[in-house]
Amino acid sequence: MVKHHLFWPVAVLAALLLFNFIYSPDFFSIIVRNGNLYGSLIDILNFGSPLIIVALGMTLVIALGGIDLSVGSVVAIAGAISCLLISKGTDQSAWSLVLMAIGVSIAVAIVLGLWNGVLVSIFGMQPIIATLILMVAGRGVAQLIADGQIITVSSKTYNYLGAGSLAMLPFSIFIVAAMFILVSLLTRRTALGLYIESIGCKPTASRLAGIRSRTVMLAVYMFCGLCAGIAGLILSSNVSSADGNNAGLWYELDAILAVVIGGTSLNGGRFSVTGTLIGALIIQTLTTTIYMTGVPPEITLVVKAFVVLVVCLVQSESFRKAIVARWKTRHYPAEREVKQHV
């Protein structure tokens, strides 16, 4: 069972939840208030939804052997565009206006994803470099759109996206569910998953096997842009405002972290969408836990640092071997060498 790729992520999540259960038993309690469900678990899903969505897109990019550093900036740009458009309207709650704003910002997000995809697949740039460009410039563009201000909107319709509720649950949870199902279907019901794993593992061999690598790459980066765009909408609608400077800050790092914790290797190849979901939940649970325990929230960063390290160490073959070698000294060094040099 330890061999199963979801074992470690699930174990960490379970341990976190267990800690919460011991520390404050009402962590698991869910109450009904004003016809809606409330409770820490609901909060985790609700507040974690933008991260989960960004991480889903990131999973596919990382599985391709790439990385997308620009998601945080795209989150900010998408939020800024939709808030700007809505704030210009006379009736900010009008459906047509809100839908138009959502449509435009999602289209822009996809175009930004396409830009990354073009740099990576057509210009052949290293993904970390290609997306760094948009990461740096995008933040400036978001501020440019918002003219350096925080744009606030008062649109009930728009606010529903990130703060409304449906069937007693926050609406954003349904968006997450829809995206999760969409990604699962795309990767497991179509050949896209096989293509992605194949390209992520061996790009040249995949091309020679007839896979249209370029199309797949473009599609995946566009999808990642789409995910970041949706996350940006949820975030900005939740607080009814867009902050070009701070919206989506560190999202790229949290998303990458979620993917890595979920068991997808940064080297590309095999990926696990479920793992990413759990990874993102771990990060969000951790944040919530820290709030609950009354430690100043800024300390989250320290804890995050240790979680990153522990998760990476657990996944690091060298580390596990070093530990195992303590009581099984004889065979492991040889095996490690075989791995490295064959």
CB 230 to another protein: min, Å: 22
Q: Which is nearer to another protein, 67 or 84 (CB)?
A: 67
> Residue 335: CA atoms inside 13 Å, Cβ hemisphere, count?
12
Q: Which is nearer to another protein, 33 or 330 (CB)?
A: 330
Q: Please say which residue, 25 or 210, places its beta carbon nearer to another protein.
A: 210
Q: Which is nearer to another protein, 88 or 331 (CB)?
A: 331
When the beta carbons of 90 and 329 are compared against another protein, the nearer one is 329
Which C-beta is closer to another protein: that of 100 or that of 249? 249
Residue 34 CB, nearest distance to another protein (Å)? 34
Contacts of 243 (CB under 8 A, 6+ apart): 76, 79, 146, 150
Report, in Å, the least distance between residue 132 CB and another protein: 7
**Which of these, 313, 224, 199, lies nearest to 276 by C-alpha position?**
224
Cβ of residue 300: shortest distance to another protein, in angstroms? 7
Give the CA distances from residue 78 to residues 100, 235, 247, in Å, rounded to whole numbers and listed in that order.
Answer: 13, 10, 10
- Residue 215 CB, shortest distance to another protein, in Å, is 9
Q: Of 226 and 234, which CB lies nearer to another protein in the complex structure? A: 226
Residue 321 CB, nearest distance to another protein (Å)? 10
Q: How many whole angstroms separate alpha carbon 304 and alpha carbon 60?
A: 23
Smallest gap, in angstroms, from Cβ of residue 59 to another protein? 15
